[in-house]
Structure 1
Amino acid sequence: MEKGNYMKFLLMLGISFVIMYGVMYLNADKFDHVYLNQNRLYMALLMVAPMALVMLGFMSGMYTN
């Protein structure tokens, strides 16, 4: 199988992680309330991990090895 598919998969997961991490800050009232937090980073990783498994399950034909 092509390595390009795996690179696309990692790129999709990376972009999804950045979007989910950004969405975590949508509930901030003011920009002053936005600060980097390990808990938000951890929660974004927890959301991306099951998404990766679901994506691999539904697109198993693309990732045969």
Structure 2
Amino acid sequence: MQIGTHQYLLRTRLHRAAVALRRSDLPVAEIAFDCGFGDLSTFNRRFKRVMGASPTAYRGA
């Protein structure tokens, strides 16, 4: 199964955010913006949809 360029880039950015959430104590908003998301609510919604947990819950797991 192939995914489109947009979906690939989104998943790459979310993976980068997931790594940062686990390895740093930076605020979620800063990680979201560093990974190219201009809106925190969009980041939260997409992260939860792809990763299965909110960014805060993922960090604490």
TM-score (norm 2): 0.46
Structure possessing the higher radius of gyration over alpha carbons: 1
The one of the two structures with greater contact order (alpha-carbon pairs below 8 A, sep at least 6) is 1
TM-score by length of 1: 0.43
